[in-house]
Amino acid sequence: MLKFYVPALFTACLNVFSPESVTAQSSDTLQTQNLNEVTVNAFETRTNLLSTTATVGLISSRSLERFSPVTWANAVNAIPGVRMEERSPGSYRFSVRGSLIRSPFGVRNVKFYWNGIPFTDASGNTPLNSLDYNSVQRMEIIKGPGSSLYGAGTGGVVLMQSHPDNEAMNRFEQSVSFGKYGFQNRNTTMQIGDISIQYGHSEQDGYRNHSAMARDAIRLTSSSRIGEKGTLSLLGMYSDLYYQTPGGITLAQYQANPKLARQPTATLPGSEAQQAAIYTKLALLGGNYTLQLSDNWTQSTALYLTYTDFANPFISNYEKRDEQGLGGRNFWQNRSQIGNVKTNWTTGFEWQFSKSAQRNYDNIGGVPDKQQTVEDIRTANLSVFSQLEAVLFSDLTISAGLSYNTSRYKYERFFALPYSKEERTFDGIFTPRFAANKIIAKNWAVTASYSGGFSPPTLQEVRPSAGGFRKDLEAERGINTEVGIRKTGKFITGELSLYHFGLKETIVRRTNEGGAEYFINAGKTKQKGMEWTLAYDILSGYQNPLSLRLWNTGTYTRYTFENFQQAEVDLSGKLIPGIPRFSQSTGLDALFRFGISAFVTYQSGSSFYLNDANTVKNTPYNQWIARVSWKKSWGQHLYSELSASAEKVNAGIYSLGYDLNAFGNRYYNAAPKDNIWAGVKIGWEWQKNSR
């Protein structure tokens, strides 16, 4: 396979940077969108993809149309270096450049913001699975450490946005879709003036036994002018999520029946008997106020409050958590010009706090029984940052940033006795970033960067599911160096990036016999990678009845442990598990007149190891994805869309997320090898009243 793709790698030195630029054409027009017209906000600098000093992948509402309206996973996985998994319906994992090694579930080591408001909480966790698919229309994924401006996280940063498709229109929209394995989705959107309200309901029975899921989520956003120079954006959401957790199975069990949930043993019951599941109710309220102080100065303040009611009946216990969080982000920005030099100085701070009351009980068939633990944990972190960017000679951009970071856990155990009180502080961590971008001949650019990152253990790592406080865990720290080349053009657009990331005190997951997880520091890792994308507009232009675009994205990596001793075994030089050496996505987009669109995508990935010792591998996979849609306007107000999607996978063992280093070799979480969905959307829109 590798021989086959060597010529493709050579060709792909000029490639598409994001799925947005791949599918940035509307269904009513066939006009191609140039990379120079796409705005990115990475590191608080509004610029285009050719000029940015960051390595960024974009997912927009238009690029999401290429895939079924079920999950972001396929669109995310088309971004080179980024991976999203769903071990069972509702159980998301999100990784940027190998950060998945710390994520047995959820999202860790990647910092998320939603409409400029921190969405990753003080303890490092991101409740991405609580969001309805339609609540986010755009993701801007910054690859590599962003700690110089965004605090903790060595994997990367994701900037999510919810905004109306057309701010000049009011609208009411209703969509319904159905699929295999009991999938149903209903979504209602109402936009009146500056206020948008969206409600979504999703449910499915799941492919495996004991893998049903249901979620109800409501989201409210608004953006209003306050006076002549101020803008206030509000964000509110409430989500009620339930999903069953089937758990991992062994290879023999997978081969006998891949739909099995975790089976009982001589000493422990299985997932079905214990009614293993996740129950999460999450409420968030936030606001972001931006004030244009003068022609040069801008001030922005974001504040938020959260409440989480969490319950997890598990094999060995029944965990309950009540959590409250608050925090904010404030920065000042000065844009000036001195002669021919344009400068952009950003400085500010981000502060977060959370309190988590954690209670563990015996689990008797999904019902909490005798109390095991009573513990409280308070988490606080602070990041102070400053960054200066200068544009010289209109085509050379230089950026330098630095942040100071501190994080603290305060732990109290009330039961089991004796009472204990402990504290762990990660203090005085400085993280720099230096980057440069040079535009050549107006449509080429060369970029280079050196950036540091840090990531203290999250709440679920210092306080694992079985209880206790792991104050011995150290924060991860790493340095990333990167070079890249980009090109824009009328027919060909693209990018090639090479990076080297060295990480110290790498945190990895372990499980005990009961399946309870715990974490250790695994020494040093070395992560080398190459990412590319390539897009060619075969046919484009408004005058053509058909628009065709062929594109390819891919990643080639070599991630190894450099200094890792496990008991008496030296694992130095072993490949880091869970990360394929090679993965790629190839697609053909066809946009016709009269609102008809057809998309075909081929995604594949090589095998990878499932444990640190490199003794167990999965199998490669090849996946075909197709979607067709027909959009139609029925007069000035009424519009509709019909769509159908299908997926087909060829793989010996197929999982959308493995349990790495699993006790008892229970690595496997089977996923369906074929799926199909169909949906209909109807909307009514009308012009806003003029002001």
pLDDT above 70 for 105: no
For range 82-87, the mean pLDDT = 90
At 489 the three-state DSSP class reads: coil
184 is written with which tokens? 């149903």
Which tops the pLDDT comparison, 574 or 541?
A: 574
pLDDT above 60 for 294: yes
CA distance 455 to 508: 13
189: confidence class by pLDDT, cuts 50, 70, 90: very high
For range 343-349, the mean pLDDT = 97
pLDDT at 691: 42
**Nearby residues of 181 by Cβ (< 8 Å), 6 or more positions away:** 204, 205, 206, 207, 672, 675
The average confidence (pLDDT) of the chain is 89
Q: What backbone phi and psi angles, to 5 degrees, belong to 404?
A: -115, 130
pLDDT at 410: 96
> 65 vs 62, 68, 80, 94, 564, CA distance in Å?
5, 7, 19, 20, 44
H or E stretch including 509? strand 507-511
For range 578-583, the mean pLDDT = 94
pLDDT at 104: 58
pLDDT at 427: 83
pLDDT at 613: 92
How many C-alpha atoms does 330 have within 13 Å on its Cβ side? 6
Task: Kindly tell me the sign of the dihedral angle through the C-alpha atoms of 661, 665, 669, 670.
Answer: positive
- Per cent of the chain over pLDDT 70 is 91
pLDDT at 1: 40
pLDDT above 90 for 32: no
For range 35-57, the mean pLDDT = 86
For range 603-631, the mean pLDDT = 95
Tens digit of each residue's pLDDT (9 = 90 or more) over 659-670: 988 889 999 999
pLDDT at 567: 72
pLDDT above 80 for 689: no
CA distance 321 to 465: 11
pLDDT above 80 for 25: no
pLDDT at 63: 83
pLDDT at 690: 46
106: confidence class by pLDDT, cuts 50, 70, 90: low
pLDDT above 50 for 15: no
pLDDT at 377: 96
Tens digit of each residue's pLDDT (9 = 90 or more) over 149-166: 999 888 899 999 997 656
* CATH for 39-687 (2.40.170.20, 3.90.1170.50, 2.40.50.140, 3.40.50.150): 2.40.170.20
pLDDT at 29: 33
Question: Residue 639: how many CB atoms within 10 A of its CB?
Answer: 18
pLDDT at 6: 38
580 is written with which tokens? 């394929």
- 288 in Cβ contact with 326 (< 8 Å): no
Range with lowest mean pLDDT among 121-130, 247-256, 398-407, 534-543: 534-543
Which tops the pLDDT comparison, 165 or 384?
A: 384
CA distance 304 to 286: 4
421: confidence class by pLDDT, cuts 50, 70, 90: very high
- 636 in Cβ contact with 630 (< 8 Å): no
433 is written with which tokens? 């970033």
Q: What backbone phi and psi angles, to 5 degrees, belong to 195?
A: -110, 130
276: confidence class by pLDDT, cuts 50, 70, 90: very high
Tens digit of each residue's pLDDT (9 = 90 or more) over 471-529: 889 999 999 999 999 999 889 999 999 999 999 988 877 776 666 678 888 788 999 99
Task: Kindly tell me the sign of the dihedral angle through the C-alpha atoms of 385, 100, 76, 311.
Answer: negative
